[in-house]
Amino acid sequence: MLAGVRMTVGESLNVLLVEDDLGDAKALIRAMRRAQIAERTVHAKDGLEALSLMRDASALCLERYVILLDLNMPRMNGIEFLRALRQDAALRRAVVFVLTTSDDAGDVSAAHDMNVAGYFLKGRVGRNFEALVDTLSRYWELTELPNMHAGDRSRLQ
């Protein structure tokens, strides 16, 4: 899909899920499938793996997507991932929603300072993630998403 073009009826959400907890990842993927909104979900276990996938557009195979990001992960945590993402000219426009157990005011502020679209606490959205999935579905339907690689056309070839 081209940047600036609204989704059409039946177009599904594409998600890059950055989550080290396999149980949470599976539950969220199941919830998106049940709601029939996730056409494609790519799972990365930490920030380093996610950045690697994003920098290799052929591996990700998504031009328009949102990122669901956990904060508490090994190797590269969510805040470190956001910092690296926002410093990368080709990736800095990525739309990121934080989905975490951390209600620490410092984490909330740091994430919002790096322009996250939303900050969700896992305890508030529940184990079945239905409220979150509904929120993402509405967001996808109503929002103009940027082409994540507009500044680097070679990544799409």
- Output the domain CATH number for residue 87: 3.40.50.2300
Q: What 3-state DSSP class applies to 48?
A: helix
| Structural domain count of the chain | 1
Task: Say if 20 falls within a structural domain.
Answer: yes
How would you write the pLDDT of the chain (157 residues) with one tens digit per residue? 222 323 333 455 688 999 999 999 998 888 888 887 767 888 999 999 999 988 886 555 556 788 999 999 999 999 999 999 999 988 888 899 999 999 999 999 999 999 999 999 988 887 668 888 888 888 877 877 766 554 443 333 2
Q: How far apart are CA 156 and CA 58, in angstroms?
A: 7
The domain of 69 spans 13-144
> Does the residue 153 lie in any domain?
no
Residue 150 lies in a domain: no
Residue 92 lies in a domain: yes
Q: Is 89 helix (H, G, I), strand (E, B) or coil?
A: coil
